[in-house]
């Protein structure tokens, strides 16, 4: 029986591509990639909807090295989509023998994304993957030269599609036809495409060439302020965010809260000096209910230890916030 590995990102396109091939009577195994910047949750949910098994491949470290120095550069933010897709295809190609599969399926659509899915980019990815004769793009196959799989009869080209461009109409009609629901938006999934996260990651790499996992996780939360080469302040936006960020805090991180008013939890990461501590207190005052008071009493201390230190400060001004905000 013919077998294919389907790269499942968790989005609608890759799910439809896998379903299209499965409906030709071909056995399909999903392959999902996990890194510091995207996870498998959506892919797991989507694979269940089309009833295919899913294998999760963690390539976090190798992917992060690629992010720092991509051969083909970045997209709009810090997303090296061409290099990332190439790496995923190379990984998938190396798994063909393990799963005794005949070829690889991707959900790419010609001209859907101006930089990473134009004809030139698709050809680059295919060639540099090292498995160019094993890659099938079912959603736009009729817009491309027939593949070896089609020519040899493993796949019926007549039942493949010719989707092109940014319209989602055909995909949404197929999703309704096949009862595929609860799929994420096309822009979702990868943190590297999010402007705020991308800006913080670029800034972090100026100070830390080899960040720890927790450094990358902390970038997902709150507002960030660079106060010195050795210290950074994070201001949480909600109570849920404050609870979530605690998973990544360490005993040498400092926590700041208003003594008398509700508001943001402030954290200092790194090795702060006295001026940094004072500014963290002022940020705490700025993002609490007492921000209009002449002075606000702030309590602080190290994470998981008593908050038994106090300081009275004025709330940080908009000018001060803007000076340090990343």
The CATH code of the domain that includes 87 is 3.40.50.620
Whether residue 56 is found in the same domain as residue 151: yes
Look at residue 198 and tell me if it is in a domain: no
Residue 184: the pLDDT is 83
The answer, yes or no, to whether residue 116 has pLDDT greater than 80, is no
Look at residue 207 and tell me if it is in a domain: no
Residue 189: the pLDDT is 80
Whether residue 168 is found in the same domain as residue 228: no
Whether residue 22 is found in the same domain as residue 112: yes
Residue 192: the pLDDT is 94
Whether residue 48 is found in the same domain as residue 169: yes
Whether residue 12 is found in the same domain as residue 138: yes
Structurally, the chain folds into a number of domains equal to 2
Quick one: average pLDDT of 226-248?
95
Whether residue 82 is found in the same domain as residue 172: yes
80: its two tokens: 């090296």
Residue 119: the pLDDT is 87
Residue 111: the pLDDT is 78
pTM over 0.95: no
Whether residue 17 is found in the same domain as residue 87: yes
Sole residue written with tokens 């705490």: 284
Residue 96: the pLDDT is 98
199: its two tokens: 């800006």
Look at residue 8 and tell me if it is in a domain: yes
Whether residue 17 is found in the same domain as residue 111: yes
Residue 110: the pLDDT is 87
Quick one: average pLDDT of 88-108?
97
The overall average pLDDT reported for the chain is 94
Residue 234 has phi, psi (to 5 degrees) of: -120, 130
Look at residue 158 and tell me if it is in a domain: yes
Domain that holds residue 60: 3-186
Whether residue 273 is found in the same domain as residue 130: no
Look at residue 197 and tell me if it is in a domain: no
Which range (38-52, 110-124, 289-303) has the least confidence?
110-124
Look at residue 36 and tell me if it is in a domain: yes
Whether residue 170 is found in the same domain as residue 228: no
CB atoms inside a 10 Å sphere around CB 140: 24
- CA atoms of 276 and 307, how far apart (whole Å): 17
The answer, yes or no, to whether residue 95 has pLDDT greater than 90, is yes
Quick one: average pLDDT of 265-282?
96
Q: Which residues pair with 302 in a beta bridge?
A: 254
The answer, yes or no, to whether residue 120 has pLDDT greater than 90, is no
Whether residue 249 is found in the same domain as residue 123: no
């Amino acid at each position: 029986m013919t077998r294919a590995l389907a790269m499942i990102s968790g989005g609608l396109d890759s799910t439809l591509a896998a379903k299209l091939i499965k409906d030709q009577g071909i056995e399909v195994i999903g392959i999902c990639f996990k890194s510091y910047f995207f996870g498998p949750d959506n892919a797991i949910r989507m694979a269940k909807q089309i009833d295919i098994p899913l294998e999760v491949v963690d390539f976090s470290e190798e992917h992060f090295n690629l992010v720092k120095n991509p051969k083909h550069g970045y997209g709009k933010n810090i997303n090296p989509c061409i290099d990332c897709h190439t790496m995923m295809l190379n990984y998938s190609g190396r798994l063909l023998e393990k799963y005794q599969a005949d070829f690889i399926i991707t959900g790419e659509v010609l001209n859907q994304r101006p930089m990473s899915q134009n004809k030139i980019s698709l050809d680059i990815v295919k060639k540099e993957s090292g498995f160019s004769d094993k890659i099938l793009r079912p959603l736009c196959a009729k817009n491309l030269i027939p593949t070896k799989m089609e020519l040899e009869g493993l796949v019926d080209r007549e039942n493949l599609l010719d989707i092109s461009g940014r319209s989602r109409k055909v995909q949404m009609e197929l999703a309704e036809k096949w009862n595929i629901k609860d799929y994420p938006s096309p822009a979702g999934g990868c943190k590297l495409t999010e402007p705020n996260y991308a800006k913080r990651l670029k800034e972090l790499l100026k100070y830390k060439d080899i960040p720890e996992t927790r450094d990358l996780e902390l970038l997902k939360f709150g507002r960030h302020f660079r106060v010195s080469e050795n210290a950074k302040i994070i201001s949480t936006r909600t109570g849920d965010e404050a609870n979530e960020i605690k998973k990544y805090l360490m005993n040498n991180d400092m926590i700041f809260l208003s003594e008398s008013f509700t508001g943001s939890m402030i954290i200092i990461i790194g090795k702060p000096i006295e001026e940094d501590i004072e500014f963290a207190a002022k940020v705490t005052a700025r993002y609490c209910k007492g921000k209009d008071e002449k002075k606000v009493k702030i309590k602080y201390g190290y994470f998981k230890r008593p908050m038994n230190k106090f300081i009275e400060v004025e709330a940080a001004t908009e000018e001060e916030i803007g000076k340090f905000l990343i």
